[in-house]
Structure 1
Amino acid sequence: MEAYFVYVTTKDGDEARAIAKAVVEERLAACANILGGIQSVYRWEGKLCEDSEVALVLKTSHPRKAQLIDRVKQLHSYEVPCILCLPIADGNPGFIRWIEGQTD
């Protein structure tokens, strides 16, 4: 069993919901958590930036990870979106099986 958390930042709640609905409907992710407003500080094109964003956590299986990354990039408004995959080292085996079943 190999599952992942996929962390994504989006420009707002509407974009987060649109991405979440698409990837769950397409079975690329088992579920999505929209974490609400976050403040992001970063450097872009040589300038220090500060923006409000919305974080999104997707849960997926190893076989769907690459497809999920590609689909989020297609749906996302940013030129270089934050998409980070974090392996789930341990947890409820039943939930991890559910992630795998939902992304088959």
Structure 2
Amino acid sequence: MNDVVEVIVTGPPDFMQKLVETLIGERLIACGQLAPIMSTYRWQGAVENATEVRAILHTTRECSDLVMRRIQEEHPYEVPCILISPVMAGNSRYLAWVAQETHKGPSSS
């Protein structure tokens, strides 16, 4: 069984690029993929539309709690969308690379 998880988070474009770079720099994620999206949601009684970016982040189960905590600390939204799902299967070489590139704890640059 592999240990890789996928973290999905949405937010403002400028913030999301910086977030991904920070998490990679801290070796909490191996990869972050960014894509523009249009979100429609109910917030404080009103229907809202927003141009956002969705990030798909690849990390390990061991790092996932710390990744979520870092996102919550930095995210400008009061209630950010952060979803974590196990990766059931995939390219074994890619999954091994994700595990190799991520570390829980201080960066060892």
TM-score band w.r.t. shorter chain? over 0.9
CA distance in structure 1 between the partners assigned to 2:44 and 2:61 by the alignment: 33
Structure 1 counterpart of 2:9: 8
1:31 has 2:27 as partner: no
- Give the ranges of 4+ consecutive aligned residues of structure 1 lying more than 4 Å apart after TM superposition: none
Task: Report deviation, 1:2.
Answer: 1.3
Structure 1 counterpart of 2:57: 58
Structure 2: give runs of 5+ residues left out of the alignment: 104-109
Identity, % of aligned positions: 32
Structure 2 counterpart of 1:84: 83
CA distance in structure 2 between the partners assigned to 1:10 and 1:84 by the alignment: 13
CA distance in structure 1 between the partners assigned to 2:17 and 2:49 by the alignment: 22
Task: Report deviation, 1:91.
Answer: 0.4
Structure 2 counterpart of 1:40: 39
Task: Report deviation, 1:74.
Answer: 1.2
Structure 1 counterpart of 2:107: none
Code of the aligned partner of 1:77: P
CA-based RMSD:
0.8
CA-to-partner distance for each residue in 1:39-84, whole Å, 9 max, x for gaps? 1010111111111111111100010000000001112110111110
- SS of 1:40's partner is strand
Structure 2 counterpart of 1:22: 22
Structure 2 counterpart of 1:73: 72
Equivalent residues, number: 102
Give me the TM-score of the superposition, normalised by structure 1.
Answer: 0.94
CA distance in structure 2 between the partners assigned to 1:57 and 1:66 by the alignment: 16
Task: Report deviation, 1:9.
Answer: 0.4
CA distance in structure 1 between the partners assigned to 2:73 and 2:23 by the alignment: 11
